[in-house]
Amino acid sequence: MAVIPGDGVGPEVVSASLPVLRAAAARAGARLDPVEFDWGGERYLRTGRAMPADGAEILRGFPAVLFGAVGRPDVPDHELVWGLIIGVRQALDLAVNVRPVQSWAGVRTVLREPDGVDLVIVRENTEGEYVGVGGRAHAATAHELGIEVAVHSRTAILRAARYAFDLARSRRGRVSLVTKSNALRHGYTLWDAVVAEVAAAYPDVECEQVLVDAMAVRLVQQPRDLDVLLCSNLFGDILSDLAAVLAGGMGMAPSANLLPDGDAPALFEPVHGSAPDIAGRGVANPVACMLSGAMLLDHVGLPVAGRIVRDAVATALRDPARHTPDLGGSATTKELAAEILAVVESST
Ligand code: ATP
Ligand code: MG
């Protein structure tokens, strides 16, 4: 697999995660051979590019990529975010973003009774409000305009929807489609129609349509009932940060970017960014990165290893003395990672 630690807390959480992933793979009788790339902000300052021009092609040689985070205060965000992670997602056409959210015993959250949340947000990853179509006009007049055109294609909706229904089949069999077709009458009515067609091909999967505002309420009030949420790019972006809080925050939120049925490598990354406010202090929570690694292990055909990582995380987190500051504890990145590694190594 390819590994891009990146910037800020990226290298801290990646270096804490790799021994755990390696040990879990070994327990499952497999060997991981990570190949590291120094892509990111420092490389940008040195060479003017966050990654080589053929970076995406280099990654094609690997079955999967583990990515830390990119971004640093002294480089404009778009140079690094577009020059690296969004560039890679687009070049590899990683059309679907997958973000599991679950409760962890021992981890306190905003919920009164946190136990029992177990849902996955499947987010269309390439279009919607994020296509960059539009413009600014009548600058510095009283009629100044900013126009943002949302684009939704049948192809992209189908890719995300089929992935969501397949996933629901392997889980509790429920898809909640999140749109806003009562007010946005073109793009989101296409979502409703295309997803209804897909739903007809999955009679064993229950499908409901929920408006995004109602879903925001449900995520807070009754998240336990939710299984797979199928979302557009914008709604998935917003709801997955909300949902991450139900698991304990950004330090607990893993993700995958993938092209279902395609031949591109999938890219796994913690949802959080480079966290410049805590970078270098050794206190970042490594769990989001480790759980991303567990998804990677599942993806490369080592689900037993993925399960070992998740079980070890669950075991370690039951003890609040192991929690990093974002979870209300005082453990360091290395202390929590060492505990998780010890649990993996003692697992049978
Ligand atoms: P970027 O522009 O790279 O996305 P950001 O500051 O916008 O950076 P994050 O890096 O995700 O966003 O940080 C948001 C908040 O969450 C920060 O206060 C950060 O300290 C916290 N945070 C992010 N990741 C972690 C982590 N792994 N452990 C603990 N706290 C974290
Ligand atoms: Mg951010």
Q: Which ligand is nearest to the CA of 70?
A: 1
Check pLDDT > 90 for residue 196. yes
- Mean pLDDT is lowest, of 43-47, 112-116, 238-242, for 112-116
User: What is the pLDDT, as a whole number, of residue 114?
Assistant: 62
286 CA closest ligand 1 atom index: 27
Report pLDDT for 153.
97
Q: Which of 75, 85, 278 has most ligand 1 atoms within 8 Å of its beta carbon, as the pocket-test mutant?
A: 278
> CA 99 to CA 126: how far, in whole Å?
15
Query: Which member of 7, 237, 298, 326 is catalytic?
Result: 237
> How many whole angstroms from 326 Cα to the centroid of ligand 2?
16
Query: Per CATH, which fold does 1-95+254-348 belong to?
Result: Isopropylmalate Dehydrogenase (3.40.718)
**Given ligand 1 and candidates 241, 242, 250, which is best to mutate, with the most ligand atoms within 8 Å of its CB?**
250
Catalytic residue among 93, 118, 166, 241: 241
Confidence (pTM): 0.94
Q: How many CB atoms lie within 10 A of CB 329?
A: 19
Q: Which of 10, 89, 81 is nearest to 278 (CA)?
A: 10
Phi and psi angles of residue 239, each rounded to the nearest 5 degrees, phi first? -70, -30
Asked, colleague to colleague, whether 1-95+254-348 and 110-246 share their fold, the answer is: yes
- Indicate if the pLDDT at residue 218 is higher than 90: yes
Mean pLDDT score, 275-292: 97
pLDDT for residue 319: 96
- Helix, strand, coil percentages, rounded to 5, for the chain: 45, 20, 35
277 is catalytic: no
Architecture of domain 110-246: 3-Layer(aba) Sandwich (3.40)
pLDDT given for residue 60 in this prediction:
95
Please compute the mean of the pLDDT values over residues 307-319 and round it to a whole number: 97
Question: What is the tens place of the pLDDT at every residue in 71-112?
Answer: 999 999 888 888 888 888 888 999 999 999 999 999 999 887
- Residues belonging to the chain: 348
Q: In this prediction, does ipTM exceed 0.85?
A: yes
- 115 band by pLDDT with thresholds 50, 70 and 90: confident
Minimal-distance CA residue to ligand 1 atom 13:
275
**Residues 115, 213, 225, 319: which is the catalytic one?**
213
Q: How far is CA 30 from CA 21, 53, 54, 65, in A?
A: 11, 33, 30, 17
Percent of the chain with pLDDT over 90: 90
| 241 counts as catalytic | yes
Find the ligand nearest to 8 CA. 1
Q: What is the pLDDT of residues 12-70, one digit of tens each?
A: 999 999 999 999 999 999 999 999 999 999 999 999 999 999 999 999 999 999 999 99
Q: Taking each helix axis from N to C terminus, what angle separates 333-346 and 10-27, rounded to the nearest 10 degrees?
A: 10
Q: Which atom of ligand 1 is nearest to the CA of 277?
A: 20
pLDDT value at 181 more than 90: yes
Domain boundaries, the chain: 1-95+254-348, 110-246
pLDDT above 80: residue 348:
no
Which residues have a beta carbon within 5 Å of ligand 2, which is an ion? 273
